[in-house]
Amino acid sequence: MKKTLLILSTLFLSLIGFSQTFTDGYFTYNIISPSEVSLNDYDMAGGTDVTIPATVSYDAVTYDITYIGYQAFMSNELTSVTIPEGVTNIVNGAFLFNNLSTVTIPNSVTSIWEAAFASNELTSVILGENVTTIAANAFNGNLLTTIDLPAGVTSIAKQVFANNSFTDLIIPNGITEIGEGSFSGNPLTSVTSINAVPPNIVTGMGIADSFAEDRSDICLYIPIGTEGLYVTDPGAEWIGFKSFEETTFAGTPDFYMTDQFNIFPNPVNSQFTVISDFTIESLMILNSNGRVVETIINPSSSIDVSNLAQGVYILQIQTVKGLSNKKFIKN
């Protein structure tokens, strides 16, 4: 028992050591490791134009500032902020309720937490190339008309860009999910998805709809050959738009062959046969989240899928004429 108590006491003292708070200038910090601090509070006497330092010294130790903490700058009437390289996380509500018009997120940042920049006046956001997570409501209630998402971002969270000024929205390649109300409250006139596999979205749920309570004034543009997957197949979610049009996008494959091949049986238990007018060079099987689960080079016409779990999949086929996609169900 004494040994256990000693271990717990040592751990508690260690945590206390890394929870020390100190103030330097207009900023208040919390020590979170022997070399790192979180910036947790700001004195408005420092003004509305803020440059956050990359490091801070205390008791002869220099710390890296890696976190902008919970509501650290909330309701401070900030008009500009410079976030230094080295910050990795911008925590819940860090810049909530300010007057920021532009912000640049450095490449060191990996995560932007809930409502981090909500309710500002942002017209421009430059996201660092290493951002992978943008949490719910992060940019809700601003004036954004465009956003360039880094390649590491594959999911657009709940209401993350709600109540902005998007009119012509482009969903970049690699997005697998668009959450509840992600773009609700925007004056959307068109939505363009470059993805060959439709991202999962929320459809027909009022304000929870990924795009709008009523999509009937919004035009939809999708890759050539993906009408079924997006709009007309059973269970397709990208419905209710004013119109839809298949088109070829610069820098993306031409999904042109949809009517040039078929698979049967579908649904399938263990094997299906692919019938194509062209020689198949390779095929990929993707799950419903767009993740590749199997790749086959120079396949035969009979494909064994007995190892797949039950569910809905996309078969993507490469021929000399281009790429093609077809949905199938594994029983």
Indicate if the alpha-carbon torsion angle 301, 308, 294, 177 is positive or negative.
Answer: positive
Does this model's pTM top 0.85? My answer is no
Note down pLDDT in tens along the chain; length 331 residues.
333 333 333 333 333 345 699 999 999 999 999 999 999 999 999 999 999 999 999 999 999 999 999 999 999 999 999 999 999 999 999 999 999 999 999 999 999 999 999 999 999 999 999 999 999 999 999 999 989 898 899 999 999 999 999 999 989 888 999 999 999 999 999 999 988 889 999 998 888 999 999 999 999 999 888 899 999 998 899 999 999 998 766 445 444 444 457 888 988 999 998 887 778 888 888 876 667 788 888 788 788 999 998 887 878 787 766 667 777 888 8
Region label for 275, one of left (φ > 0), alpha (ψ between -120 and 50) or beta (otherwise): beta
From 56, 116, 126, 45, select the one nearest 86 (Cα to Cα). Answer: 56
Q: Say what the pLDDT of residue 310 is.
A: 84
Q: Are strands 27-31 and 21-24 parallel, antiparallel or unpaired?
A: antiparallel
Domain definitions of the chain by residue range: 14-247, 258-330
Q: Do domains 14-247 and 258-330 have the same CATH topology?
A: no
Q: Say what the pLDDT of residue 322 is.
A: 63
Q: Say what the pLDDT of residue 274 is.
A: 86
Q: Are strands 168-171 and 190-193 parallel, antiparallel or unpaired?
A: parallel
CATH architecture of 258-330: Sandwich (2.60)
Q: Is 218 helix (H, G, I), strand (E, B) or coil?
A: coil
Cβ-contact 290, 197 below 8 angstroms: yes
Q: Say what the pLDDT of residue 9 is.
A: 35
* CATH H-level, domain 14-247: superfamily: Ribonuclease Inhibitor (3.80.10.10)
| CA trace torsion 207, 209, 213, 217 (10° rounding) | 150
Q: Say what the pLDDT of residue 194 is.
A: 87
Tell me the sheet residues that pair with 62.
Answer: 57
